[in-house]
Amino acid sequence: MTTPPELIAERDGAVLVISINRPEQKNAMTRTAAELLAGALDELDGDPALSVGVLTGAGGTFCSGMDLKRFAAGERPSVPGRGFGGLTERPPAKPLIAAVEGYALAGGFELVLACDLVVAARGARFGLPEVRRGLVARGGGLIRLPRLVSRAVAMELILTGDFIDADRALAMGLVNRVVADGAAAAEAIALAQRLARNAPLALSASKRVVVESADWPLGEAFARQIPITDPVFASEDAREGAVAFAEKRAPNWRGR
């Protein structure tokens, strides 16, 4: 009997749908799955036919964190230079949307925090319970969460290890939209297809400025975005966007 792959990547037009595929283990992350995820993200960034990625989990769970049994045996589910799951230290240049069903805990929540947009099923649960296992959320949870919510709320979640539901995550600004259970992937793919209708160079440059400008001094911010945004304004796609608007037709993006 053939063992199913621990991660599946499938194309849906310009969208790459990436599914962690260990449902019997609540999609707990392994080194193999992390390496496969890193490879899928390289495919996303390296193929001009792809514009947006969607990250989800099979079997009604996003990701329950690292596989603790494998951790106890000495395995670390990270990729050098890429971090936990092959994602948290180096997210893709192109937009990545998390589609969350069930649990997104510990490293699983850190994968979500590394994504750009989040669609959550109503039954989704998020949390950083590392302190309950004698660990710390060093896959980005301690760094990203306090930048996304208030310090007091981040401290409470980090130090108690408590979970929050999708509605509270939405109210805190961690989630873009909440949908019915079972509908997160379909909604995330529909959202990804909306993004993919936009110019690919503009998508990547816009994401880069948002991410990198977080620690730019305000007095330098406009100047520092120029080397990132000037190539977009000088691109064939910029000219195509203007011509398509004038001709009242859909643009034909070429990514150059």
Active site residues: 110, 130
Strand partners, 126: 104, 164
Question: In terms of Cα–Cα distance, which of 193, 101, 104 is closest to 140?
Answer: 104
Say if residue 171 is exposed, middle or buried (CB neighbours under 10 Å; 0-12, 13-18, 19+): exposed
Q: What is the DSSP code (8-state) at residue 66?
A: B
Q: What is the DSSP code (8-state) at residue 30?
A: -
Q: What is the 3-state secondary structure (H, E, C) of 186-200?
A: HHHHHHHHHHHCCCH
Q: Do residues 60 and 73 lie in contact, with contact meaning Cβ atoms separated by under 8 Å?
A: no
DSSP 90-115: S--SS-EEEEE-SEEETHHHHHHHTS
Q: At what angle do helices 200-212 and 218-233 cross, to 10 degrees?
A: 170
Q: Do residues 162 and 154 lie in contact, with contact meaning Cβ atoms separated by under 8 Å?
A: no
| Per-residue tokens: 233 | 């304004």
| Per-residue tokens: 36 | 């496969």
Q: Which helix (H) or strand (E) holds 163?
A: strand 163-165
Q: What's the sign of the alpha-carbon dihedral 67, 149, 100, 10?
A: negative
Phi, psi of 57 (to 5 degrees): -135, 150
Question: In terms of Cα–Cα distance, which of 80, 111, 102, 109 is closest to 7?
Answer: 111
